[in-house]
Each structure stands twice: as structure tokens, then as C-alpha cells.
Amino acid sequence: MGNLHLVTIAIIAANVIISYKGFGDYNFFEKYKFQVGPIQRGEKLRMFSSGFLHADTQHLLFNMLTLYFFADVVIQLLSPFYFLVIYLGSLFLGSALSFYFHRNEYHYSAVGASGAVTGILYSAILLQPDMSLYMFFIPIPIPAYIFGIAYLLYTIYGMKSRIGNIGHDAHFGGAIGGFAITLILSPWLFQTNLLMIGLLALPIVLLFILKKMGKI
């Protein structure tokens, strides 16, 4: 990895500063976390502010490490400004999908940059699908597009089964954001990566089919 771009440093710094403020200040954490009831009452800022809060240091570290590994791909192949658009857009779409699925659960709450970071991850996969990913528990490199499809299928399963204390819907919304915004900003991908676009779109289509059928 080369030197981190200033925009990546700024986002990591914002996450660290705001998260640590939340760790030590219960009222601050409660005021800015994602929660359905207050958002329905008009506190729309929570849709964004919750993306800079984290449950604990491990949660923060995992998200920032993932961002660190994939930010440069998006910045170098698009631009720092487009990277920021994708990051914030994915954050919002992650919150929006969470709100949609939990709109009748007044007390449902969540925090974390996972939606935004997943959006950057999927943008990077779309821009450079032939890159390989190395997972801690798998000793061989995995093609990025295989990982992307498998991860979204697992996320659908997580949404359906509600496994773990994880905002699977925010991850999925972030992935949709990264996918859609990258294609809007980079229409040339339809000429160069059309097959990959179709493959990565399959889990997204599956989610909406399952939702329409009432399976999620």
C-alpha cells in the first residue's frame, strides 16, 4: 500500500474521534445513533451521524481496516471526490434500507460505518474485479467478484435469519449504494465489465424478489 490519501485519512480520523467520543459519553451516543423512533420524529441527521459511531474498538478497527485496504482502488480509478460521494451515498443507502426493513420497530437501533465501507468495497470490486482478496481463515486468494457475490448471499441469509447482533440490511444497502453510484459515475464500465455487472447484480435482484414474496 502506498501513502493514504488525505480524504481517507480524514474519514478515518472522523470515525475515530466521533466513535471515541461516543464510547465515553452515553448521551452523545444516544443522541446520534440510528434509531427508528427518533428518525420518524424528524431526527434525520441520525441517518448519517450513526455511520461515524461504533459499538466498541474492535468494531471500529474492523471497519477502518477494510476501508484502508479498498479506499485507494476507488480513489485511483475514479477520484477523491467520487470516492467521497460513494462513501456518503452508501452510508445513507445503508441507513435507508435499515429504516425500510425496521420501520415498524420503534426501538430498533444501530451504529457503524459498515454500510459506507461495504459500499467502497463493492465499488472497488466493480472497478477491479480481477483483484484477489486474502481472508484470515482461507489460505488461498479469492477472486474479488466471488467474494462479493458470496458476501451478499450471506447477508441475505443474515437478514432472513436475523443472525448475530449485526446490521445485515445496512451492509446490503451500502453494497447497493456502492454498486449503483459507481455505475452512475463510471458508465464506461458497461462497455468493459458488463458480465461482472450482471453477476454482482444477481444477489441484489434476489433480495428484492424475496422481499416481494414476503420471505424477508
- CATH number, domain at 140? 1.20.1540.10
- Residue 116 has a pLDDT of 96
**Nearest-angstrom CA–CA distance, 48 and 94:** 10
The answer to whether 34 and 98 have CB atoms below 8 angstroms apart is: yes
- Whether 79 maps to a domain, the answer reads yes
Q: Grade residue 1 by pLDDT with cuts at 50, 70 and 90.
A: very low
- Whether 55 maps to a domain, the answer reads yes
- Whether 1 maps to a domain, the answer reads no
- Whether 199 maps to a domain, the answer reads yes
Record the pTM: 0.90
Domain tally for the chain? 1
Nearest to 49 by CA among 105, 88, 81, 104: 88
Its domain, for residue 202, covers 6-212
Mean pLDDT on 70-97:
96
What percent of the chain lies above the pLDDT cut of 70? 93
Amino acid at 164: G
- First-to-final CA distance of the chain: 40
pLDDT tens, position by position, 2-33:
468 999 999 999 999 999 999 999 999 999 99
- Residue 92 has a pLDDT of 96
- Whether 189 maps to a domain, the answer reads yes
Cell numbers of 21, please?
467520543
- Whether 195 maps to a domain, the answer reads yes
Whole-number mean pLDDT of the chain?
89
- Residue 216 has a pLDDT of 67
- Whether 48 maps to a domain, the answer reads yes
**Nearest-angstrom CA–CA distance, 109 and 120:** 23
pLDDT tens, position by position, 84-138:
999 999 999 999 999 998 999 999 999 999 899 999 999 999 999 888 877 656 6
The answer to whether 204 and 156 have CB atoms below 8 angstroms apart is: no
**Phi, then psi, of 76 in degrees rounded to 5:** -75, -35
Mean pLDDT on 140-157:
82
Helices (H), 162-193: 168-185, 189-192
Instruction: Say whether pLDDT at 209 is over 70.
Output: yes
- Distances from the Cα of 66 to the Cαs of 70, 109, 192, in angstroms? 7, 23, 26
- Whether 135 maps to a domain, the answer reads yes
